[in-house]
């Protein structure tokens, strides 16, 4: 999620050269607000090792109807949904902001962020990373001739690496849950 990489904020200035996530944050709800950030065991270990606590986790029902439509990705569905329909996610503040969202973006280093944050706006299932990017980013704010991935300083090679790590961790989480060890 690009908000974590906000380099500059020019308050009140509509600067077309400004990083896309900064422009996004001035105009719309971003991917760090009212979003369910599902956590793998690996995410929890990496984040808790960095911040020294584990109080950023909660179990919550899917916050958006589309989160329930996972038939094209049964591993994701089975590894992330609990029998009661909740999922293990990052806590929100009352206003819907992610608990790690600070005034200039994510407060976690990039390689510590939950894997699904690092992957956004790449879209994917277990089968792989999709050609098309997700639709939540404000493409109308892109500088002329610049693609979304380039504007966010993201690339497919990293996305495929994180995708492989994510699904490897989901398989481990599912196995742990089936063995009764999932928390």
Using CB under 6 A, pick the residue from 44, 119, 133, 137 that binds ligand SF4: 137
Q: Segment contacting ligand SF4 (CB under 6 A): 78-86, 107-115, 161-169, 171-179?
A: 107-115
Question: Phi/psi of residue 101, each to 5°?
Answer: -80, 120
Q: How far lies 35's CA from each of 48, 61, 156, in Å?
A: 20, 12, 23
- Taking the least distance from each CB to ligand SF4, the nearer of 108 and 159 is 108
CB of 65 to ligand SF4, least distance (A): 19
Q: Binding to ligand SF4 by residue 40, rule CB under 6 A?
A: no
Q: Which span (9-17, 70-78, 136-144, 161-169) binds ligand SF4, by CB under 6 A?
A: 136-144
Query: In the complex with ligand SF4, which residue's Cβ is closer, 78 or 148?
Result: 148
- Residues 66-105 within binding reach of ligand SF4 (CB under 6 A): 90, 98, 100-101
Is 4 near ligand SF4 (CB under 6 A)? yes
> Rounded CA gap, 162 and 157, in Å?
9
Min CB(87)–ligand SF4 separation in Å:
14
Residues recorded for the chain:
183
DSSP secondary structure of 47-87: HHHHHS--TTEEEEE-SSGGGG--TT-HHHHHHHB-TTSEE
Q: What is the DSSP-derived secondary structure letter of residue 26?
A: H
- Identify which of 112, 108, 123, 131 has the alpha carbon closest to the alpha carbon of residue 76: 123
**Whose structure tokens read 């949904």?**
81
d(CA 132, CA 121): 9
21 binds ligand SF4 (CB under 6 A): yes
> Can residue 166 be called a binding residue for ligand SF4 (CB under 6 A)?
no
- Applying CB under 6 A, the residues found at the interface with ligand SF4 are 1-4, 20-21, 24, 30-32, 35, 37, 90, 98, 100-101, 106, 108, 113-114, 117, 120-121, 136-138, 152
């Amino acid at each position: 999620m690009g908000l974590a990489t906000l380099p500059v904020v020019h308050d009140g200035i509509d600067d077309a050269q400004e990083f896309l996530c900064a422009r996004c944050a001035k105009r719309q709800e971003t991917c760090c607000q009212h979003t369910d950030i599902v956590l793998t065991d690996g995410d929890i270990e990496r984040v808790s090792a960095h911040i020294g606590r584990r109080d950023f986790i909660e179990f919550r029902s899917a916050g958006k109807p589309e989160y329930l439509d996972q038939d094209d990705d049964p591993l994701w569905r089975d590894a992330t949904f609990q029998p009661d329909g909740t999922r293990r996610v990052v806590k929100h503040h009352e206003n819907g902001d992610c608990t790690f969202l600070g005034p200039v973006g994510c407060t976690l280093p990039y390689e510590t962020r939950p894997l699904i944050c690092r992957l956004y706006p790449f879209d994917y299932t277990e089968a792989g990373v999709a050609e098309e990017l997700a639709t939540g980013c404000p493409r109308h704010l892109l500088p002329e001739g610049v693609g979304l991935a380039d504007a966010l300083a993201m690339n497919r090679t990293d996305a495929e690496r994180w995708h492989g790590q994510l699904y490897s961790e989901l398989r481990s989480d599912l196995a742990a849950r089936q063995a009764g060890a999932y928390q």
